[in-house]
Amino acid sequence: MKVLSVLGSTGSIGTNTLKLVKEFPDDFRVEGLAAGHNAALLAEQVEAVRPRIVSSGDEKVSAEVQGLLRQRGYDMAATRFTHGVEGNVEVACHPGCEMVLSAISGGAGLLPTYRALESGKGIALANKETMVMAGELMMRKSLEKNLPILPVDSEHNAIHQCLRGGEGKEVRRLILTASGGPFRTTPKEKFSEITLADALKHPTWNMGRKITIDSATLMNKGLEVIEAARLFGVGAERISVVVHPQSVVHSMVEYVDGSMLAQLGVTDMRLPIQYALTWPERWTTPLERLDIYKLPSLEFFEPDMDKFPCLGLAYEALRAGGTAPAVLNAANEVAVEAFLGERLAFTDIPRIIRAVLRAHTPRPADELETVLEADAWAREAARGM
């Protein structure tokens, strides 16, 4: 039996992970849960899986969760309750846990994920910002501890699967697929009219608000380019993005002889979650199968870098290296937060990111403290702008 801690348990990936655990009760046990501010859902999850440790967003939410559980007659002595960043780290590093499913949104996922790896836990990674901000540190620690970092994001999970078909020296390039978001066919001159409601209508995936906006700007794909470079040890020139509206091909690998391996599947995140949690084995699944006879025509387009400058900014940060990707990520989080609060126009998101990125002089990202300092500087700069 594999013992898990789930960081970001009330989000899309976290809830799908717990659904999967329920399908395999003899194979997985949940030791710890960490979540934000959805007290009602977290209380339900605690009651369902009975973890030994639970972290909430803050003390107030933790008290609310405990109150709900007492009303239901839950054995409070069975679980320890904590909160905040320190609580997330405790859940990630809990002695009884052997693998951490990291799905906290944004830069907040870095510290608990890094500490989990440091303390000897395998990582199933759904928090791309961890690799964007400190990918070199994470991979160094992974090698040092001889522990895997297994990607859960559908694109990187697909590449991980495709890479089983050949050796690293045989790979010519990695090809990440993108749905193109809700504005793939919207003329650039109409972008100034985009509203928050428009941007939250993703055509394929049901995701959190922040990642949905990142998908609309294609920054999500830009962050995935940086994550792929770190996870698989390739440079920017060997990573391509292709827009694939049907979202059936989750990503591809091109080999030196021109052969391409693609991973196809239904758009259900439980499939990549199961792959990451059960690797190096491949288990059967009760989930829906892809019916190739019912597939639509599969289309592939080049991304429009002029309409979606965030993708180009991500490549720029990757080539700059060091702390530049952390700065890119931080500026994006602040800009997206402002857009979600309707304090910023959609077209201002890349403007803020570009200005912060170009005001920064990259430093080697060889210490966690250096990365966190760059992150803090970029957030302050973005808020000021």
* Alpha-carbon dihedral sign for residues 308, 110, 103, 321: positive
285 near 271, Cβ under 8 Å? Answer: yes
Q: Which residues pair with 209 in a beta bridge?
A: none
DSSP assigned state of 301: B
Residue 139 burial (10 A CB sphere; 0-12, 13-18, 19+): middle
Please provide the DSSP assignment of 182-222 as one string: TTTTS-GGGGGG--HHHHT--SS----HHHHHHHHHTHHHH
Measure the CA–CA gap between 273 and 356, rounded to whole angstroms: 34
**Distances from the Cα of 212 to the Cα of 148, 336, 383, angstroms:** 28, 10, 21
Between CA 211 and CA 93 the distance in angstroms is: 26
pLDDT (tens place) for every residue of the chain, 385 residues total: 999 999 999 999 999 999 999 999 999 999 999 999 999 999 999 999 999 999 999 999 999 999 999 999 999 999 999 999 999 999 999 999 999 999 998 889 999 999 999 999 999 999 999 999 999 999 999 999 999 999 999 999 999 999 999 999 999 999 999 999 999 999 999 999 999 999 998 766 666 788 899 999 999 999 999 999 999 999 999 999 999 999 999 999 999 999 999 999 998 999 999 999 999 999 998 888 999 999 989 999 999 999 999 999 999 999 999 999 999 999 999 999 999 999 999 999 999 999 999 999 999 999 999 999 999 999 999 999 9
Give the C-alpha separation, 260 to 165, whole Å: 10
- Taking the whole predicted model, whether its pTM rises above 0.85 is answered as yes
Domains and CATH numbers, the chain: 2-151 (3.40.50.720), 156-320 (no CATH)
Q: Is 172 helix (H, G, I), strand (E, B) or coil?
A: strand
Beta strand 2-7 with 99-102: parallel, antiparallel or unpaired?
parallel
